[in-house]
Amino acid sequence: MTEVKSPEVPAPPAAVPSELTPGGRWGRVRPFLPLVALAVALTLPYSTLHLPGIFEGALNEPGTLQLLAVCMVFGGLAAGYDLLFGRTGMLSFGHALYFAAGVYGTDILVTKAGLPLWQAALFTITGGTILAALIGAVALRTVGIAFAMVTLAFAQVGAILVARDFGGLTGGEEGLPLDVSGVPEALVGVTNTVNLYWLALAYLVVVVFVVHRVSGSPTGRVLAGLRDDERRVGVLGLDPYRFKLVAFTLAGGLAAAGGVVYCLIVGGASPHITSSELTLSLLVMVVLGGPGTRWGPVLGGILYMYLDHRLVAFGASEAVDALPAFLSRPLSQPLFVLGAVFILAVYFFPGGLASLAPRLALLRGSLRIPSRGR
């Protein structure tokens, strides 16, 4: 008559709040992990450690630090994008636009208009935020897939504007190297890469802080409500449009700020950052990491960019070269590997990396308590 429920829980939904993960020793250590990670991040530039296979040079070499800085910027970007996708349920395909606005805005204002960096950054972030607010105001009149298409189309305008080089501002296909004479000396040159690393770390920390504050606030709970069931929020007398616009604008502003940092790290702007591919990559990062989770998107962003860079070296490595051509050639394409991993992740780890820990905990739990019934 009654079915005995076995202790295992059905596959966790996409958003597994990390607070709900089962306890144990691991559970006691867990809350401190981000602090440990931060401490590691803070000490990295002082370490001369060699990690062969993971990084090419020592940890404190400029090459390694630059890669890490790029990874952290994308960790922050992914966290910001997750504010839309994972936490509010908005599938935007145009997030690259605000990031690109940040990169090109800074670059153009410094290089072409000759503004000092801090002014350029200020104007760019303000401008990027306003841009997001304007486009959001239009795009959010649609929902679901139509919203995805509209944001994609607007981002395409950005890509066209950059590629066609209107007014000779963007440098077209060639991109626009940053004129460093307007940039404080501490942020210029190979020897100062460590300062860019600090900047990227600061950006990541700020984004994570903002995103967590927002999602913990009453606004964040409304956003989560929108994700789960928009009508229910409407019934409460709250205007979904306004809340979504707030999230959209905030995420756009955070992306523009990331653009400013990225522009400094790579020393200029190139048109590929305007492509829809970048937005798709953000989506991949968030899904790989675990949408709507506390640390998943950050991890996903960092890991994705790391793999994207390192897989080039992996593809050129002897181990891959030794394989037959039909294997070695695809493996030498980072996007092939990442795309394939992504597809597998959608099938087998719907909650992303963040769902792995609770799953492992469940596994351990079910091993300890022999399951009854069934």
Partner 1 sequence: MTEPVLSVADLSVRISGLHILQGVSFTVAPTGVTVLLGRNGVGKTTTLRAIVGLTPRAGEVHGTIRMGAQSLLARPTHRLVRGGLGYVPEDRCVFAGLTVAENLRLAERRGTTPAYDRVYALFPELDRRGRQRAGSLSGGQQQMLAIGRVLLNDNRLLLIDEPTKGLAPKVVTEVAEVLERVAESVPVLLVEQNLAVVRRLARDAVVLAAGKVAWTGDAQELLLETGLTKSLLGVGSAEVHH
Partner 2 sequence: MDTIILLTLTGLGLAALYFLVASGLSLVFGLADVLNFAHGLFLGVGAYATWWAAGNLPGAGGDGFGFVVAVAFGVLAGTLVAVLVELVLIRPLYSRTIEQVLVTVGLSLAGVALLQATWGADARTFPRPEWTRQVTNVLGANVPNGGLLLIVAAVLVLGAILTFLRWTRYGLVIRAGVENREMVTALGIDVRKAFTLVFAIGGAAAALAGALGSVYFGTVSPGQGGSLLIFAFIVVVIGGMGSVVGSAYAAVAVGLLQQFVNYYGTSGLGDICVVGLLAVVLLLRPQGIAGKVATA
- Which backbone phi and psi does 322 adopt, to 5 degrees? -70, -20
Question: What's the min distance (Å) between Cβ of 355 and partner 1?
Answer: 18
Interacting partner of 269 out of partner 2, partner 1, none (Cβ under 5 to 8 A depending on kind): none
Out of 149, 206, 238, 356, name the contact with partner 2 by CB under 8 A.
Answer: 149
| The one among 229, 239, 277, 321 contacting partner 1 by CB under 8 A | 229
Give the DSSP letter string of 241-283. Answer: HHHHHHHHHHHHHHHHHHHHHHHHHHTEE-GGGGSHHHHHHHH
CB-CB contact of 196 with 265 (8 Å): yes
Site track 150-169 with partner 2 (rule: CB under 8 A), x = hit: x-xxx-xx--xx-xx-x---
**CA-based angle 253:257:258, to the nearest 5?**
115
- Residues numbered 172 to 201 that lie near partner 2 (CB under 8 A) are none
Q: Nearer Cβ to partner 2, position 165 or 179?
A: 165
Q: Which does 192 bind (CB under 5 to 8 A by kind): partner 2, partner 1, none?
A: none
19 binds, among partner 1, partner 2, none (CB under 5 to 8 A by kind): none
Residue-wise burial string across 11-35, b where 16 or more C-beta atoms lie within 10 A, e elsewhere? ebebbbebeebeeeeeeeebeeeee
Smallest distance, partner 1 to C-beta of residue 231, A = 11
- Under the binding rule (CB under 8 A), the answer on residue 285 touching partner 2 is no
Element (H, E) at 176: strand 176-177
Helix, strand, coil share of the chain (percent; to 5)? 75, 0, 25
Q: Could you say whether residue 145 binds partner 2 (CB under 8 A)?
A: yes
Residue 177 in 3-state DSSP? strand
Interactions with partner 2, residue window 316-355 (CB under 8 A): 329-330, 332-336, 338-340, 342-343, 346-347, 350
Residue 91 CB, nearest approach to partner 2 (Å): 7
300's tokens: 């996903």
Question: CB of 365: closest distance to partner 1 in angstroms?
Answer: 22
Per-residue binder mask for partner 2 (CB under 8 A), 220-259, x = binder: ----------------------------------------
Residue 373 binding partner 1, by CB under 8 A:
no
Among 173, 174, 228, 239, binds partner 1 (CB under 8 A): 228
- Which residues fall within 8 angstroms of residue 239, CB to CB, at 6 or more apart? none
Q: What's the CA gap between 313 and 294, in Å, rounded?
A: 31
Residue ranges that bind partner 1, judged by CB under 8 A: 1, 3, 228-229
